[in-house]
Structure 1
Amino acid sequence: MDIIFTVLEIVAPVFLLACIGFGWVKYGWAYEIEFVTRIAMTLSVPALIFVALMKSQVAPDALSALFLASLVCYGLLIVVFWLVLWLGGMDLRTNWAPLIFGNTGNLGLPLALFAFGDEGLSYAVIVFAVMAILSFSVGVWMVSGGGGFTKMIKEPIVWGTLLGGLFLVQGWETPDWATNSLELLGQMAIPLMLITLGVSVARLQVGTLGRGAVLVALKTVLCVAVAWGVGRYFALDPVAFAVLVVQISTPVAVTSYLLAQKYGADADQVAGMVIISTLLSVITLPALLVVLI
């Protein structure tokens, strides 16, 4: 019973902040999601990642192992979901990327922080960084049929990750005034992302849910299985293993819906997947944490 209350204490702030965003929109108040997202993705999240890596007390070897494990996970998921969609005769442009790239930022980072503290956050930003780089390169290619690399190298998240990794490996630190400023900027990231998640879900217009529900259930099972197997293969330490499984198993990201809209895929179906997987995560993520903690 104690473990259940512990898990509830972890997930409650995550879903409470998302519910604030959801209720904000339903009440009719304005929320400039494009502005908030740009602030988060351009300034706050890169600062969060950079400082988390620079100040990480986790050994660089452990972070490197998780980095490789994350790459292997996403590589396997790319192949597995291509086979699933090909065998099912389903549209690759619409379904491929959403099934692979989960909400490792808005949902995964807060969960890792609340469940495993600063150590968990250090691990979580590695998985998030791998996802972001692949999503803005391979993911864009999947949805649009081409491009992606130019967009990737322009992303501040990519540079925040590379610089944070460099500072970690070299043992460098920024001056106190710079570190304090970056920490303050990074502290905005998690509440902003969670509230924006709720706002985004509240604004989604869903045309169909049927096929999306089947795909979401399959995504959940396969993502957990792949992350679990890869984590064991790389013999990750318990916190790194738990973070990998949780991050890879997060629900379909809202950015998948935005990309589907931008590049002419079936945005209504992707919206349905976002909503179903996010609702399902209220059950699956706490259940995973019960097993992993």
Structure 2
Amino acid sequence: MHVADHFLTPEASVVTGVVAAGAVAAAITVGRPRFSGTRIALAGATAAVIFGAQMVNFPVLDGTSGHLMGGVLATALVGPRLALMAMTGVLALQSIVFGDGGITALGTNILLMGVVPIAVAVGMRSLARAAGADRFVRTTAGAAALVSVPAGALTLVALYALGGTGTVELGAMAVSMTGVHLLIGLGEVLITVGVLSIVMLVAPGAAEWDPRPAARTAPLRAGVALTTSALVFSTALAAVAASTPDGLESVVASYSLPVGDTLVTGVPLLSDYGSIAGTSILLVGVIGVLAAGALTAALSAPMLTCRAPIGA
């Protein structure tokens, strides 16, 4: 659901940019959160697996595909603050280096794929706790993942109603966006629960939502599992991923909505994930995974403390 340049008016893009920047600033500063270096490294590994998984488009309808958004997975792994750093790092990298998602729409994309899914995850987790079901970690994560994708899609419809660059019957657009993104949400559930289950299996207690006590080596084992998964997604699976338009692109095409030229097309060898220059998908995947982890760690650095416990 990467929104392109000129899909929303400049005024709407400025507003979403301010909201996204405010959310990131609040995550870093409100309550003066502090995390250990180990925890921030785990956030980097989380960003890596999300970047890798987003390279894998899976078919949902004839001629339409989808990919992971990742906000719920990130929240379940490292909590909402570091999850927002991870999503911001991934989306900024995709826009600037790979030309995926408009640079003027970066705030919009952070809002749709970061802020909204993270809010859904936090809300669903709160409901589970209130119902005494907080031990059902994977069920809660799966439910949040399923809801988060159409929630992001409907948020975009609302934004288009306020500042879209084209004319469309909003009710019909909402139905189309909800329908296709509910199907994409099923893939979101499978990937979210699958990756979370791997981490909970190899590193009990390392995930934010895992209530079990964590051994000292748990974060390291979780980081290795996430990085390995990221490389599998971004190399082997990306090589056989669907190449059809994603859910948003399909809706844009079906309603002939205007989309302008991309303002930043990315680094020449890596633009469009190497497809333009013919760069090996293996090289692109490794570079992207490592860069996503490093950028997320850098964004999270203001929250670093050497005194925080492993589970901070």
- The question of a shared fold, defined as TM-score above 0.5 by the shorter chain, is answered with no
With the length of structure 1 as denominator, give the TM-score of the two structures: 0.38
With the length of structure 2 as denominator, give the TM-score of the two structures: 0.36
